[in-house]
């Protein structure tokens, strides 16, 4: 890369032009890169996970940004919806990419259907409130303000209308990248991933439209922690894509409102991390912290095909609150680097098989048209990654360790007892099909009642079993009537 003296001063490592990890000579304070040149440019804004192309400009410009706030009901998990407040119609808000020295003419529109006023605080703006005061916008109105982007970096923007926490908790955040004058070094793939924590009245995966829970938010007791606004945003066919040998750069943000992310990609080491979205590059990083209201840029080259899992390594958030995404890498194997099979299915959990079936069953249940077949289909997808880890994919169990569910006399003998086992766990000894097991099954009470009903309906009608369906009401009845053993929760 060409390295002008100028770029070294103002951009240093952010432009990656020195190739060394020594600290750059940093200009103190914002740098005036001169007046805008040429005709005004309309900024290209993208929905996550896409990133706008590099500005490709060598001189500062006047850049016009149009961003519309909308309050929309969208899924947060399978069968669960939430009223998100958005910058641009999705969570996170649209990605804005400009160049250091640009003069930004910012237009914030608030859709007429909105119920709330909103505004925007861009961390890339220096000046009280970061634009918040000049952008307060009532429903059906537009406001305009102008700022000069003096500092390069990856910045969070968010709504700062009172109650601020609630606006942020509803998804009002996004990223703005201010490229250094030289631009960033080219890579093969760039993606936009932003974490957020959500607080609903219903527990994790409780179906239906879930209202915001202010008390849980104050207590920082998140119901969901997700990437890009929903549990399913980056899994299955929505996974990020790359080919073997490609260099991938992730612009990672964290909207919060509360939690600090331990951002990690299972099976990768970050070659470079622009810590906290600033100008210092750290190398060979396993997990990087992304503060609430902060960012990080991570880069790595993918050498081996397979599925890489993005997680918040504060790990209960990944397995029990939704903080899982996927990067699918295709291409030839490289046995010198990695000899093994696909990434362990333990990490994929039920996210790999998460299916439409769960939403379909939830929708049917809401309409009152739920059939046994709907339940079996949903239960099948939930069984994988929940029960299959122990009872095995075909319910066959493992000798002496995990009893079979396939053709299990014990399972089929008593439906209510089976519900109780899933909710409260089971401590042996127990005799299944004549064989004795003396082990411990942990409670699965973190599962929602309808999920348990669907799983048990599936199990009781598969692997050679045949029986009646299990209803959500039956599960609820057992849950409310049993004294919770320690640790069972809920
Ligand atoms: Cu707002």
Residue bearing tokens 């994929």: 348
Q: Give the per-residue pLDDT at 483.
A: 75
Cα(468) to ligand 1 centroid in Å equals 48
Cα(452) to ligand 1 centroid in Å equals 37
Cα(161) to ligand 1 centroid in Å equals 5
d(C-alpha 63, C-alpha 66), whole Å? 10
Cα(201) to ligand 1 centroid in Å equals 20
Q: Give the per-residue pLDDT at 20.
A: 37
Cα(169) to ligand 1 centroid in Å equals 10
Cα(279) to ligand 1 centroid in Å equals 30
Cα(166) to ligand 1 centroid in Å equals 8
Q: What residues have CB less than 8 Å from 212, skipping those under 6 apart?
A: 82, 83, 166, 169, 170, 199, 200, 201
Cα(154) to ligand 1 centroid in Å equals 21
Cα(74) to ligand 1 centroid in Å equals 17
d(C-alpha 377, C-alpha 102), whole Å? 53
Cα(217) to ligand 1 centroid in Å equals 16
d(C-alpha 244, C-alpha 221), whole Å? 39
Cα(448) to ligand 1 centroid in Å equals 31
Cα(174) to ligand 1 centroid in Å equals 12
Q: Which parts of the chain have pLDDT scores under 50?
A: 1-28, 342-344, 352-353, 488, 490
Q: Give the per-residue pLDDT at 30.
A: 57
Cα(68) to ligand 1 centroid in Å equals 11
Cα(147) to ligand 1 centroid in Å equals 20
Cα(90) to ligand 1 centroid in Å equals 13
Q: Give the per-residue pLDDT at 66.
A: 97
Cα(87) to ligand 1 centroid in Å equals 9
Cα(398) to ligand 1 centroid in Å equals 53
Segment 1-43, tens digit of pLDDT: 333 333 333 333 333 333 333 334 444 455 667 889 999 999 9
Segment 45-102, tens digit of pLDDT: 999 999 999 999 989 999 999 999 999 999 999 899 999 999 999 999 999 999 999 9
Cα(95) to ligand 1 centroid in Å equals 17
Q: Give the per-residue pLDDT at 132.
A: 73
Q: What residues have CB less than 8 Å from 465, skipping those under 6 apart?
A: 405, 406, 407, 408, 411, 412, 459
Segment 388-425, tens digit of pLDDT: 988 999 999 999 889 999 999 999 999 999 999 999 89
Q: Give the per-residue pLDDT at 413.
A: 94
Q: Give the per-residue pLDDT at 75.
A: 96
Q: Give the per-residue pLDDT at 461.
A: 96
Cα(164) to ligand 1 centroid in Å equals 7
pTM, two decimal places: 0.81
The two three-digit tokens of residue 160, written as one number: 């700062």
The rounded mean pLDDT for the chain is 88
Cα(462) to ligand 1 centroid in Å equals 48
Q: Give the per-residue pLDDT at 333.
A: 78
């Amino acid at each position: 890369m060409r390295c002008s003296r100028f770029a070294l001063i103002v951009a240093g490592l952010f432009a990656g032009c020195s190739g060394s990890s020594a600290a750059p000579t940093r200009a103190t304070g914002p740098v005036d890169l001169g007046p805008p040149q040429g005709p005004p440019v309309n900024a290209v804004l993208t929905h996550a996970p896409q990133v706008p192309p590099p500005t490709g400009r060598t001189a500062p410009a006047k850049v016009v940004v149009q961003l519309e706030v909308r309050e929309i009901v969208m899924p947060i998990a399978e069968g669960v919806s939430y009223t998100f407040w958005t910058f641009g119609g999705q969570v996170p808000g649209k990605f804005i990419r400009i160049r250091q020295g640009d003069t930004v003419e910012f237009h914030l529109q608030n859709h007429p259907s909105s119920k709330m006023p909103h505004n925007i605080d861009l961390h890339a703006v220096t000046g009280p409130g970061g634009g918040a005061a000049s952008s307060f916008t009532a429903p059906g109105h537009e406001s305009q303000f102008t700022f000069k982007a003096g500092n390069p970096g990856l910045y969070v923007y968010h709504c700062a209308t009172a109650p601020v926490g609630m606006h942020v908790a509803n998804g009002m955040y996004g990223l703005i990248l201010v490229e250094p004058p030289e631009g960033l070094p080219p890579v093969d793939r760039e993606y936009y991933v932003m974490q957020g924590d959500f607080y609903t009245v219903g527990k994790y995966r409780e179906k239906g439209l879930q209202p915001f829970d202010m008390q849980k938010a104050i207590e920082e007791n998140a119901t969901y922690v997700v990437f890009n606004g929903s549990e399913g945003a980056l899994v299955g066919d929505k996974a990020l894509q790359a080919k073997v040998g490609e260099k991938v750069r992730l612009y990672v943000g964290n909207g919060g409102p509360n939690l600090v992310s331990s951002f990690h990609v299972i099976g990768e080491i970050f070659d470079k991390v622009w810590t906290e979205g600033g100008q210092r590059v750290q190398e060979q990083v396993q997990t990087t912290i992304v503060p609430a209201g902060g960012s990080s840029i991570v880069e790595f080259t993918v050498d081996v095909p397979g599925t890489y899992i993005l997680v918040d390594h504060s790990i209960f958030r990944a397995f029990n609150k939704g903080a899982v995404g996927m990067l699918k890498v295709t291409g030839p194997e490289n046995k010198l680097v990695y000899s093994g099979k696909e990434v362990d299915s333990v990490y994929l959990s039920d996210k790999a098989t998460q299916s439409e079936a769960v939403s379909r069953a939830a929708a049917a249940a809401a309409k009152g048209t739920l059939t046994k077949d709907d339940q079996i289909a949903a239960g099948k997808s939930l069984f994988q990654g929940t029960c299959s880890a122990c009872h095995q994919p075909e319910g066959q169990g493992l000798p002496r360790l995990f009893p079979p569910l396939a053709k299990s006399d014990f399972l089929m003998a008593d439906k209510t007892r089976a519900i109780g086992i899933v909710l409260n766990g089971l401590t042996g000894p127990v005799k299944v099909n004549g064989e004795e097991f003396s082990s411990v099954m942990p409670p699965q009470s973190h599962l929602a009642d309808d999920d348990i009903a669907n799983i048990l309906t599936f199990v009781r009608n598969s692997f050679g079993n045949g029986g009646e369906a299990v209803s959500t009401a039956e599960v609820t009845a057992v849950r409310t009537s049993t004294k919770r053993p320690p640790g069972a929760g809920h």
